């Protein structure tokens, strides 16, 4: 049974295809806020039976619509259109009941509720701990209130408000509507469900549903729809001759709007639904880098949020160190009571250099040097953390090892326990230096050197440039595998190469040092049969020890991983390789549900199976997967932007699947570009026409 999920702000909602929240399934169904499940059971029945499913969809990312029926064959049916959405920390649901019998019908509609108020980690069976207890459900007019007292001395409540005059069975927490419907008649039932969290000493028992006036179903839906319309028009618009890419782009744009979250410092993106509906370091940063072609301003909330939660002290319980950028933050009961270190948790080795990469890329797209002054302390602390940690080993590389008892053994983006494996099958010993992390540092320092030169800080600029160049030399000396003509994934605790051929080295293509000597070699290997499945680049070569096409990190294909490699192809001039990757991702998009890139899919080739093989447990939507679509757009444009140098260039290369591409409102600096691309099928060349340019910069178009 396929799960459905929607999100808005601090809330997200997971149901089965019927729109029910089934407590008997281990699928984590429910209504969640701040990593707590406020609604764990919500079931609709018609005449004491589960209705039949006609259709269930999230055609608009924010609106879950389910069509149900109760039928007497060859006689007639009662249909229910069940529509749910989230708005302003409230869930709205409407049941539209229609009688399609030729005679009047009396329909009994029952709705049953419950809430277990479990911490997200407990729902996922990821952690256990001491928790609070349920309180009695209270009733007040047309409202029931499920209640719970947590170990963190917080009262969690779920207020359920209904219209009409149902029979209320308090012992069962059940509403029963009896509807008398003439032939063709429709009746509507509307409900509002609101999670609430208050300190224990502020609890005054049952209360009115909301502070202030509640919007009606239609008013709330109109407000939500308008916010999506504004989002769509304020970002880069695209129309191509390929309906698949148009659908993929529109879906990705909607999903990124749905995954927006503000935890106090501006909007950023959560990682993905359902289990990662929170702000991450690595995920939110990479998503923001990918979203720059939509509008550079999307990076600001991420930069400010991560700067606010930057490590303030050394705390091994949370893997926290001064200057380190967080990995993940949670707000549930286990975190609030100190039973889990995710408050936030800092066990990510790449978040800090990636934070600096995002800053560099944002400045290059926007020209906004004021952000450098605003985040000066955070930039200094991040650089200090990197440099201090690099002094821990003779080679001067940034390494990681697990310190928090409940932390992660691997702390790069491939964070599963078996992801760093030697050719003899042994797992690498810590401390581990990941190849892509060293590349991020090189890239960040090169970019910061350019920024500080622009700010007339020549001495600091020169120092950073020198440090980057020295690091690049050490990367080649220590990671390059001459026999493989490729870079190893990592160095182990003895600074010996971990001899696996993986996608990690593809991230090095962003660093300038690989451009001349190593880019073509990396590109050739990534697009060879052992790495490229036809749908994308595998996380690991099918010739490497540990390869398994259904492995989470050792053979699967991740859209965002391919997106990082695409950005590197742009930096390194690998247009042919970029075009090949885009074509593979388009083939994958044609086979995923709703043209929505999942977190990952299996690494089987098109020769092994005639269609894409889905990964059995994957988050969807996933922020950096959705945002990969915008990197595909950037790759097709061959677009590179550097406002610091006053440079904007195009090297367009459309895949054969897309003959024409219109781009409107592409924001660079304080202006926009409108661009038209067209591919000549006979010569297989792409031409670009600049239809509008208000950036104040010349756009150089390369063939």
Count the neighbouring beta carbons within 10 Å of the beta carbon of residue 570: 21
3-state secondary structure 114-167: ECCCCEHHHHCCCCCCCCCEEEEEEECCCEEEEEEECCCCEEEEEEEEECCCCE
CA–CA gap between residue 6 and residue 15 (Å, rounded): 9
pLDDT digits (tens, 9 = 90+) for 153-191: 999 999 999 999 999 999 999 999 999 999 999 999 999
**Percentage of the residues of the chain whose pLDDT score is greater than 90:** 90
Complete edge-to-edge strand list for the sheet that includes strand 36-39: 4-8, 11-15, 30-33, 36-39
Q: How confident is the model at residue 212 (pLDDT cuts 50, 70, 90)?
A: low
pLDDT at residue 606, rounded to an integer: 86
pLDDT at residue 588, rounded to an integer: 97
pLDDT at residue 408, rounded to an integer: 83
Helix, coil or strand: residue 361? helix
CA–CA gap between residue 512 and residue 358 (Å, rounded): 16
Average pLDDT across the chain, whole number:
95
Beta bridge partners of 392: none
8 A C-beta contact, residue 255 and residue 598? no
pLDDT at residue 213, rounded to an integer: 65
pLDDT at residue 535, rounded to an integer: 97
Q: How confident is the model at residue 647 (pLDDT cuts 50, 70, 90)?
A: very high
For 202, counting Cβ atoms within 10 Å of its Cβ (0-12 exposed, 13-18 middle, 19+ buried), the class is exposed
Residue pointed to by tokens 């999506």: 228
φ, ψ of residue 537 to 5 degrees: the values are: -85, 130
Taking the chain, what is the end-to-end CA distance rounded to the nearest angstrom?
49
8 A C-beta contact, residue 629 and residue 293? no
Q: Which CA distances in Å does 150 have to 154, 198, 202, 208, 622?
A: 5, 11, 14, 22, 30
Q: How confident is the model at residue 682 (pLDDT cuts 50, 70, 90)?
A: confident
Rounded to the nearest 5 percent, the helix, strand and coil shares of the chain are 30, 30, 40
**Percentage of the residues of the chain whose pLDDT score is greater than 70:** 98
8 A C-beta contact, residue 31 and residue 109? no
Least confident of 2-6, 265-269, 318-322: 2-6
Count the neighbouring beta carbons within 10 Å of the beta carbon of residue 75: 10
Contacts of 517 (CB under 8 A, 6+ apart): none
CA–CA gap between residue 555 and residue 549 (Å, rounded): 5
Higher local confidence (pLDDT), 456 or 512: 456
**Length of the chain in terms of residues written:** 703
**If you write DSSP's letter for every residue of 474-498 in order, what string do you get?**
HHHHHHEETTTTEE-SEE-TTS-EE
Q: How confident is the model at residue 308 (pLDDT cuts 50, 70, 90)?
A: very high
CA–CA gap between residue 670 and residue 456 (Å, rounded): 23
For 537, counting Cβ atoms within 10 Å of its Cβ (0-12 exposed, 13-18 middle, 19+ buried), the class is buried
* Average pLDDT of the residues in 71-80: 94
Residue 202 has pLDDT above 80, yes or no: no
* Average pLDDT of the residues in 450-470: 98
8 A C-beta contact, residue 628 and residue 286? no
pLDDT at residue 211, rounded to an integer: 46
Residue 205 has pLDDT above 70, yes or no: no
CA–CA gap between residue 319 and residue 321 (Å, rounded): 7
Helix axis angle, 282-290 relative to 351-366, nearest 10°? 20
8 A C-beta contact, residue 405 and residue 399? no
Helix ranges (H only) for 313-434 are: 333-336, 351-366, 370-374, 376-390
Residue pointed to by tokens 């202030």: 212
8 A C-beta contact, residue 292 and residue 361? yes
CA–CA gap between residue 324 and residue 355 (Å, rounded): 10
CA–CA gap between residue 125 and residue 136 (Å, rounded): 26
Q: How confident is the model at residue 403 (pLDDT cuts 50, 70, 90)?
A: confident
Helix ranges (H only) for 518-558 are: 519-526
pLDDT digits (tens, 9 = 90+) for 119-144: 999 998 888 899 999 999 999 999 99
Token reading at 550: 């259904």
Residue 210 has pLDDT above 60, yes or no: no
Helix, coil or strand: residue 234? helix
Residue 563 has pLDDT above 80, yes or no: yes
The secondary structure of residue 320, as a DSSP letter, is B
* Average pLDDT of the residues in 94-98: 98
pLDDT digits (tens, 9 = 90+) for 274-292: 999 999 999 999 999 999 9
CA–CA gap between residue 449 and residue 83 (Å, rounded): 53
8 A C-beta contact, residue 285 and residue 443? no
Higher local confidence (pLDDT), 447 or 607: 447
CATH of domain 4-204+213-224: 2.70.98.40
Domain 235-589+597-688 in CATH 1.50.10.10: yes
Q: What is the domain partition of the chain in residue ranges? A: 4-204+213-224, 235-589+597-688
Cα 79 off chain centre by:
35
* Average pLDDT of the residues in 78-83: 98
CA–CA gap between residue 281 and residue 348 (Å, rounded): 8
The secondary structure of residue 200, as a DSSP letter, is G
CA–CA gap between residue 536 and residue 515 (Å, rounded): 22
Q: How confident is the model at residue 203 (pLDDT cuts 50, 70, 90)?
A: low
Q: Is the dihedral of CA 260, 262, 268, 273 positive or negative?
A: negative
pLDDT digits (tens, 9 = 90+) for 99-125: 999 999 999 999 999 999 999 999 988
Q: Which CA distances in Å does 268 have to 115, 189, 288, 344, 482?
A: 29, 35, 8, 16, 42
pLDDT at residue 209, rounded to an integer: 46
**If you write DSSP's letter for every residue of 620-678 in order, what string do you get?**
SSBHHHHHHHHHHHHHHHT-EEETTTTEEEE-----TT--EEEEEEEEETTEEEEEEEE
pTM for the whole structure: 0.96
Which of 428, 412, 432 lies closest to 352, judged by CA?
A: 412
Q: Which residues of 466-500 are buried (b: 16+ CB within 10 A; e: fewer)?
A: ebbeebbeebeebbbeeebebbbbbbbeeeebbbb
Q: Which CA distances in Å does 40 have to 109, 147, 194?
A: 20, 12, 13
CA–CA gap between residue 377 and residue 700 (Å, rounded): 36
8 A C-beta contact, residue 350 and residue 357? no
Q: How confident is the model at residue 206 (pLDDT cuts 50, 70, 90)?
A: very low
CA–CA gap between residue 95 and residue 171 (Å, rounded): 24
Which of 512, 492, 369, 347 lies closest to 430, judged by CA?
A: 492
């Amino acid at each position: 049974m396929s799960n459905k999920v929607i999100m808005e702000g601090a809330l997200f909602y997971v149901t089965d295809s019927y729109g029910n929240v089934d407590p008997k399934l281990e699928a984590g169904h429910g209504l969640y806020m701040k990593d707590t499940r406020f609604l764990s059971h919500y079931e609709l029945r018609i005449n004491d039976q589960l209705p039949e499913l006609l259709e269930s969809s999230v055609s608009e990312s924010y609106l879950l619509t389910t069509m149900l029926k109760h039928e007497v064959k060859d006689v007639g049916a009662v249909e229910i259109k069940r529509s749910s959405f989230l708005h302003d920390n409230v869930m709205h649901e409407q049941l539209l009941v229609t009688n399609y019998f030729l005679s009047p019908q009396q329909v009994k509609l029952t709705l049953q509720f419950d809430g277990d108020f479990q911490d997200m980690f407990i729902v996922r069976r990821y952690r256990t701990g001491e928790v609070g207890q349920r309180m009695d459900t209270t009733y007040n007019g047309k409202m029931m209130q499920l209640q719970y007292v947590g170990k963190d001395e917080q009262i969690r409540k779920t207020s359920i408000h209904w219209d009409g005059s149902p029979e209320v069975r308090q012992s069962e927490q059940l509403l029963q509507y009896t509807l008398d419907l003439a032939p063709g008649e429709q009746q509507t039932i509307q409900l509002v469900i609101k999670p609430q969290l208050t300190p224990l000493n502020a609890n005054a028992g049952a209360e009115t549903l909301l502070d202030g006036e509640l919007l009606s179903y239609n008013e709330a839906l109109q407000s939500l729809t308008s916010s999506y319309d504004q989002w769509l028009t304020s970002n880069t618009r695209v129309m191509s001759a390929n309906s698949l890419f148009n659908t993929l782009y529109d879906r990705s744009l909607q999903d990124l709007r749905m995954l927006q979250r503000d935890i106090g410092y501006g909007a950023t993106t959560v990682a993905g639904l359902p289990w990662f509906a929170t702000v991450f370091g690595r995920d939110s940063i990479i998503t923001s880098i990918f979203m720059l072609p939509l509008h550079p301003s999307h990076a600001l909330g991420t930069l400010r949020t991560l700067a606010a939660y930057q490590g303030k002290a050394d705390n091994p319980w949370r893997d926290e160190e001064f200057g380190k950028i967080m990995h993940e933050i949670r707000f549930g009961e286990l975190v609030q009571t100190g039973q889990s270190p995710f408050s936030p948790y800092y066990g990510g080795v790449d978040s800090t250099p990636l934070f600096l990469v995002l800053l560099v890329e944002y400045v290059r797209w926007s020209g906004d040097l004021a952000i450098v002054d605003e985040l000066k302390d955070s930039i200094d602390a991040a650089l200090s953390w990197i440099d201090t940690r690099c002094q821990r080993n003779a080679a001067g590389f940034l390494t990681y090892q697990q310190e928090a008892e409940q932390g992660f053994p691997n702390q790069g983006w491939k964070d599963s326990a078996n992801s760093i494996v030697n050719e003899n099958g042994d797992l690498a010993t810590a401390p581990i230096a990941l190849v892509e992390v060293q590349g991020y540092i090189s890239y960040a320092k090169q970019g910061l050197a350019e920024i500080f030169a622009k700010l007339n800080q020549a001495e600091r600029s020169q120092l950073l440039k020198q440090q980057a160049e020295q690091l690049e030399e050490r990367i080649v000396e220590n990671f390059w595998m001459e026999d493989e003509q490729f870079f190893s994934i990592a160095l182990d605790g003895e600074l010996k190469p971990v001899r696996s051929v993986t996608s990690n080295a593809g991230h090095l293509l962003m660093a300038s040092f690989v451009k001349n000597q190593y880019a073509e070699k990396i590109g050739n290997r990534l697009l060879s049969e052992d790495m490229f499945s036809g749908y994308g680049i595998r996380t690991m070569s099918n010739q490497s020890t540990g390869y398994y096409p259904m492995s989470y990190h050792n053979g699967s294909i991740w859209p965002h991983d391919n997106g990082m490699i695409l950005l590197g192809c742009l930096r390194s001039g690998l247009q042919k390789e970029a075009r090949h990757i885009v074509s593979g991702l388009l083939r994958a998009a044609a086979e995923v549900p709703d043209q929505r890139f999942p977190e990952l899919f299996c690494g089987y080739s098109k020769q092994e199976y005639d269609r894409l093989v889905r990964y059995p447990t994957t988050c969807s939507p996933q922020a950096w997967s959705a945002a990969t679509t915008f990197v595909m757009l950037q790759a097709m444009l061959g677009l590179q932007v550097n406002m610091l140098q006053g440079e904007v260039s195009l090297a367009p290369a459309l895949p054969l699947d897309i003959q024409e591409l219109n781009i409107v409102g592409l924001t660079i600096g304080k202006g926009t570009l409108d661009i038209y691309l067209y591919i000549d099928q006979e010569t297989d060349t792409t031409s670009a026409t600049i239809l509008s340019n208000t950036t104040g910069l010349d756009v150089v178009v390369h063939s």
